[in-house]
Structure 1
């Protein structure tokens, strides 16, 4: 090979390398023109508020960006289709409330391979670029510490469980940590799922009332289950049972203001701020300001009958 040929090959190799490098460049926050958001259910005001916070944050940076928020309705196949749809529409940022924290990995990988940044919201998911959620262990601990105090440290308590996603597992973990400090409290049940729903929470509570005639306290993993449980107690005309929960939902505000309700506290989340923080995390990853795999935990606050009047709820944003 001649000297000129060597130079030509080197130059072509350099151009090819530069072209490959340019093609692999990650999007920046300024490049966002389309954003996809897939959540468990848009019938839940929690997720409606999360989407509202995220949309506000997105439009501050990219006023013309399209935001496509969809309800997965807790259906894994539906969520897979939504993720693929987001990529087809050119989404560079996806906020994902995973229906299944492990099974969504293939969809997450496809999105990332297509150049999107994926941020998990509310619950963790394997393989995402970042996660933003409530400190759920702290939420469970706060709620059950208050429950134990209201029971004067003794009595039979049921933990009404839910879907086995990270947030629920962590809430139950925090609750058990809190109750373990009170030897006079006996956990009589912790494996019944209210499935995050009012009607199932109602049914589970009906079962408790039959099985545990001395039940004095219940921790539910979210507010819909707490409201359903409260209704079951009312219909059974049972007295002396107190309920604490996690969420700070609009329905629980009404329950806390009702002197006839069994609900006495809820460790509140802030879905509006969660949406904002998730967008910020995604933008910071795109701009190289945040390490991939970062997790941000939002501290919960305990809402009780004493301070509910000062509480700024989800729908107040």
Structure 2
């Protein structure tokens, strides 16, 4: 009987030890991924276009976040089509994603799809621009700051006087905030005249075409502000093709690899306010996991931008 009692005691002790280990493992997995042990988070990310290096960098950030937070992240391109981005969100809902990350092509137009996700109980975290319809939070660059940086650089270099062009972009909050920051600073420089403001649609080809028309109508241009580097490079090409590459300089936003190369040339492309798209997505996933876990999060999380010029580009860490 004594021997039997000893054996039973050992067995009970082993069972108790196994239960404690399993519980600890479950807790560790839950803290790492925000879900129960053995279940990966399912996350859908939709971006305006993977034809832009900025959104390619964002997709790379999603890959980093997938490893860091034990998640399966599906990244899709809306190809600058509101209907397609709407359909992508609807598909994420059908697939019962745990979290939707949205970089909106049209902040207002996507509202119905966001509302549909909200009704399905799926949190929507916006990245690089807000959207209507009831998003949970937005993680983005301080785009007002980006516009302000560009305007200050431009105004200082022009010494407060000159003719400038603004190449606008898609109707998303990131773009409108950049324009707002830029124009707010310009109010303090009445001798800087905006002689043209047109939509370059955020891409190189359109900005090139728009700038060609602007140059035909204006013989004296001192500087150009573009809302992203894709447009900035398009403007640079247009100026060079017209033999006016030395006439004006370009101040932009993004910090893209192509802008880095253009800055190193030390020609018309003079400055860019650098964003960090990969960091944005990692932060968005982290924020979404908190929401899934029942935590409260800030409705807006801003990431500072960094002014990169021809003088400091060699020390810029890039994307």
Range class of TM-score, shorter chain: 0.7 to 0.9
User: Per-residue CA shift, 1:180-211, capped at 9, x if unaligned?
Assistant: 22222111122x10011111111111122122
In the alignment, the residues of structure 1 paired with residue 96 and residue 63 of structure 2 have an alpha-carbon distance, to the nearest angstrom, of: 17
Q: 1:67-216 to 2 correspondence within 5 Å?
A: 67-126=73-132, 127-190=134-197, 192-216=198-222
Matched, 1:45 2:50: no
SS in structure 1 at match of 2:67: helix
Partner of 1:273: 279
Kindly state the Cα deviation for residue 148 of structure 1 after the two structures are TM-superposed. 1.2
CA distance in 1 between partners of 2:301 and 2:50 (Å) = 23
| 2:200/2:231 contact within 8 Å kept | yes
Aligned counterparts of 1:70 and 1:262: Cα–Cα separation in 2: 34
Deviations 1:152-189 (Å, cap 9, x if unpaired)?
Answer: 21110111111121111111111111222222211112
Q: Give unmatched runs, 5+ long, in structure 1.
A: 1-27
CA RMSD of aligned residues (A): 1.5
Identify the structure with bigger relative contact order (alpha carbons < 8 Å, sequence gap 6+): 1
Q: For 1:197 and 1:219, how far apart are their aligned partners in 2? A: 14
SS of structure 1 residue aligned to 2:35 = helix
Of 169-178 and 79-88, more deviation after overlay is shown by 79-88
User: What is the match of residue 302 of structure 2?
Assistant: 297
The 8 Å contact of residues 52 and 230 in structure 2, kept in 1 or not, is answered as: no
Q: Computing the radius of gyration over CA atoms, which structure comes out larger, 1 or 2?
A: 2
The TM-score with structure 1 as length reference comes to 0.85
Corresponding residue number in structure 1 for 2:24: none
Determine the C-alpha separation between the residues in 2 that align with 1:80 and 1:176.
Answer: 32
Contact 1:217 1:243 in 2 (8 A): yes
* Structure 1 counterpart SS, 2:265: coil
Aligned residues: 282
- What is the TM-score of this pair, normalised by structure 2? 0.85
Is the 8 Å Cα contact of residues 106 and 170 (structure 2) preserved in structure 1? no
The aligned residue for residue 248 of structure 2 is: 241
